Amino acid sequence: MKDSARRYSKLPNSRLLPAARFGDLIIGRLLLIGLGLLFLQLFLHGLCYSLGVTGLLSKGLTTRFWAAAMSSPALRQSLQLSALIASAVTAISLSGSLLFTLLRYHSGSSRLIESALWLAMAVPVVVAATLTRFWLAPGGLIARLLYHCGLLESPTSFPALINDPCSIGIILCGTCCSMPLLTLFQLRIQEADGLHRYVRTAVQLGASRWQAFLHVLLPMLLQRSRGMLALTFLWNFSAWEAPLLLGQQSPRMISVLIQKSSGEFSLDQRPLGFVYSTVYFIVGVLTIAAFAGKAARRE
Amino acid sequence: MSSLSRQSEAKKNHGEAKKNRSAEGSLRCVGYLLLCSTVIVIAGPLLLLSCGTGWSWPRLLPDHPGFTNWRTLLSQDTGLLSAMGTSAALACLTSFTATAIGLIMSRAAALSTGITMRVILFLPWIISPVVAAVSLYQLLAGLSLAGSLAGVVAAQLVFAAPFAAIILRDVWNHQTHQMIRLVKDLGGSAPAIWMHVIWPRVRRLLPLCLLQTALFSWLDYGIVSVIGGGRVDTITVRLFALLREAGLNQAALAAIMLMSPAIVFGIPLAVQRMQLPAILNDGAEGLSD
């Protein structure tokens, strides 16, 4: 009996539970395949447009847009900037959410804290970006408060926190939008999976509360939050509204670069936008494939 | 001897109770502080600036306080209410459909062994909605859906359904599978499994999923502007123009209008604390014992 259970536990989920399959599984797979084909079509459309095969002003197959994009530093800088900002936001959001988890672990649950998180989560990105501008701009509320406290002489002496080279405004705005969702997700997972019971077992077996948190709760939480963390990273990687309002002119985050290239300049330059979007698509797919492959190997 | 041990135990219990009370008190303080600061940071500047015109340096209040902006907005026939109605209809349609589709997709993705399904699930989140919408437009135009509410919902579902599936994917963990197997072995039908095993687990994440997908739809500008082609008039289409063109006071007013439904949806969810279902309690207890 034990051997049989051990053998089952090594099998992947689809083979582990043959009796638990329903008709919805086929529909679900068809939906996923349909979605994949749709995105393949979008990718091919962008690729064809960037190669001059389609488009209103296309003059036949050409690689000049790809050559122009590769010789310019704009694309590389945008990808680097997007990855750095997304990593920073994910890391800060994760640290913040774990801090809340630790607080809850130490002092118990609080409706007030959860209400504040729900409230913060209900703030749209564009409003969060507008609020960041209101607070952190050189002529914003913080600068005015500092002036009235006698700590600032003029708006020009206030440090640049928006449209700045370090993208502080974008990171702050991204963190304010991502952290509540990540924290609430972790709290729900903690409750739904009854993780406190594993902690209690560890304490009953002789571990200290801190050891139980560090070696039992934290790894379980991180393991269950992997999908949401990847989502947070990708969400911030492809952020558009906040970088549009709070970012500097150059380099731009990748979504802004694509949108500006595709929509605002002349139609002649439109294929350049599709070059950027194609590269962006490839980089994104490779990132997801690397993440998903790693997760599949772990399972 | 036994009375001494009883006394020491009572002292210990008293000490623990005191410690718990102190932790509860400090937690309540942190909660109040966090809630108040969140409200002030969010509502403070928006209310301050929307109730007045002008905001010259270094004044903390607007140059001419009053409700001129609000009166102008509400008195003129701006069509803002009909735009809000359209946005609300879009958000409802998208969130409920995306959650239903996402649940089915999440099961298929969770049970697949390869990485292809997972990659597909995450695909919509790496593509800029504006760029995707430009390509989607031709496809939807071929189906005569471009410029219609149905077309916008269809385009939004491409993004919202996989997001719902990602949120709901954690429902399909090993514990759920064990429970499904148990019910199945005991003769439970498929509807019974959905009702008594899957639904209690889905219920935990459902408000989060519905809220996130509804917010995505409510706040979407890229897809609506491209697929709608000006014929689907939502609140974002109107308010983005206001944010771009108007001054700080109008921008604050626009931000309040944009944020109000999110708060209306969010506060009831915050008040309604989701309880841990007994079935999960029992399952977790069984595992830890």
CB contact under 8 A, B128 and A259: yes
**In chain A, % of residues over pLDDT 70:** 87
The backbone torsions φ and ψ at residue B275, rounded to the nearest 5 degrees and listed phi first, read: -90, 145
DSSP letter at B277 equals P
Predicted confidence at residue B154, as pLDDT, reads: 93
pLDDT(A233) > 70: yes
A108 touches chain B (CB under 8 A): yes
Q: Which residue has the higher pLDDT, A191 or B180?
A: B180
Residue of B nearest to A201 (CA): B288
Global confidence as pTM: 0.76
Distance from the Cα of A165 to chain B's closest Cα (Å) equals 23
- Confidence class of residue A8 from pLDDT cuts 50, 70 and 90? very low
- Confidence class of residue A95 from pLDDT cuts 50, 70 and 90? very high
Query: What residues in A contact B287, CB-CB < 8 Å?
Result: 194, 197-198
- Confidence class of residue B15 from pLDDT cuts 50, 70 and 90? low
Query: What residues in A contact B263, CB-CB < 8 Å?
Result: 119, 122
Predicted confidence at residue B19, as pLDDT, reads: 64
pLDDT(A269) > 70: yes
A47 touches chain B (CB under 8 A): no
Residue of A nearest to B181 (CA): A20
pLDDT(A33) > 70: yes
Q: Which residue has the higher pLDDT, B99 or A287?
A: B99
Assign residue A43 a region (left: φ > 0; alpha: ψ between -120 and 50; beta: otherwise). Answer: alpha
Q: What is the mean pLDDT of residues A260-289?
A: 79
Angle of the B129-142 helix axis to the A270-298 helix axis, nearest 10: 100
CB contact under 8 A, B32 and A112: yes
pLDDT(A14) > 50: no
Rounded to whole angstroms, the Cα distance separating A217 from A212 reads: 7
A150 touches chain B (CB under 8 A): no
Cβ count near A260 (within 10 Å): 16
**In chain A, % of residues over pLDDT 90:** 17
Query: What residues in B contact A150, CB-CB < 8 Å?
Result: none
Predicted confidence at residue A193, as pLDDT, reads: 75
- Confidence class of residue A22 from pLDDT cuts 50, 70 and 90? low
pLDDT(A10) > 50: no
Distance from the Cα of B203 to chain A's closest Cα (Å) equals 10
- B155-166 residue pLDDT tens: 999 999 998 988
CB contact under 8 A, B259 and A19: no
Task: Determine, yes or no, domain membership for A143.
Answer: yes
Rounded to whole angstroms, the Cα distance separating B280 from B179 reads: 10
Query: What residues in A contact B28, CB-CB < 8 Å?
Result: 110, 112
Predicted confidence at residue B276, as pLDDT, reads: 30
Predicted confidence at residue A299, as pLDDT, reads: 60
CB contact under 8 A, A284 and B127: yes
Averaging pLDDT over each range in A13-27, B116-130, B174-188, which range is the top one?
A: B174-188
Query: What residues in B contact A41, CB-CB < 8 Å?
Result: 135, 139
CB contact under 8 A, B208 and A185: yes
Among A65-74, A95-104, B191-200, B276-285, whose mean pLDDT is lowest? B276-285
Number of domains into which chain A is organized:
1
Predicted confidence at residue B137, as pLDDT, reads: 79
Query: What residues in B contact A277, CB-CB < 8 Å?
Result: 127-128, 131
Give A 220-249 residues with CB within 8 A of chain B: 224, 227-228, 230-231, 234-235, 237-238, 240-241
pLDDT(B141) > 70: yes
First to last CA, chain A: 23
CB contact under 8 A, B118 and A230: no
Query: What residues in B contact A237, CB-CB < 8 Å?
Result: 126
pLDDT(B278) > 60: no
Handedness of CA A209, A210, A214, A220 (dihedral sign): positive
pLDDT(B209) > 70: yes
Q: Which residue has the higher pLDDT, B125 or B187?
A: B187
Predicted confidence at residue B234, as pLDDT, reads: 85
Q: Which residue has the higher pLDDT, A51 or B12?
A: A51
| Domain range for A249 | 51-298
Q: What is the mean pLDDT of residues B183-195?
A: 84
Q: What CATH number corresponds to the domain at position A225?
A: 1.10.3720.10
- Confidence class of residue B75 from pLDDT cuts 50, 70 and 90? low
Closest by Cβ to A227, choosing from B113, B166, B251: B166
How many Cβ pairs within 8 Å bridge chains A and B? 304
Q: Which residue has the higher pLDDT, B234 or B19?
A: B234
Q: How far is CA A262 from CA A11, A49, A163, A280, B196, in A?
A: 47, 11, 22, 14, 50
Mutate to test the interface with A, among B19, B49, B55, B134 (most CBs of A within 10 A): B134
Task: Please enumerate in sequence order all residues whose Cβ is within 8 A of that of B64, keeping only pairs 6 or more positions apart, or say none.
Answer: B52, B53, B54
Predicted confidence at residue B280, as pLDDT, reads: 31
Task: Determine, yes or no, domain membership for A247.
Answer: yes
Among A154-168, B99-113, B182-196, B271-285, whose mean pLDDT is lowest? B271-285
CB contact under 8 A, B259 and A127: yes
Predicted confidence at residue A117, as pLDDT, reads: 84
Rounded to whole angstroms, the Cα distance separating A180 from A218 reads: 18
Predicted confidence at residue B253, as pLDDT, reads: 81
Closest by Cβ to B107, choosing from A25, A112, A123: A25
Class of the CATH-defined domain B80-288 = mainly alpha
DSSP letter at A55 equals S
Q: DSSP E strands: which ranges in B18-104?
A: 52-53, 64-65
Query: What residues in A contact B54, CB-CB < 8 Å?
Result: none
Predicted confidence at residue A172, as pLDDT, reads: 94
- Confidence class of residue B152 from pLDDT cuts 50, 70 and 90? very high
Q: Which helix (H) or strand (E) holds B230?
A: none
CB contact under 8 A, B119 and A289: yes
Closest by Cβ to B258, choosing from A126, A147, A228: A126
pLDDT(B58) > 80: yes
Closest by Cβ to A123, choosing from B31, B42, B212: B42
CB contact under 8 A, A116 and B35: yes
Task: Determine, yes or no, domain membership for A197.
Answer: yes
Average pLDDT score, chain A: 82
At A267, which amino acid appears? Answer: L
Give A 120-139 residues with CB within 8 A of chain B: 120-127, 130-131, 134-135, 139
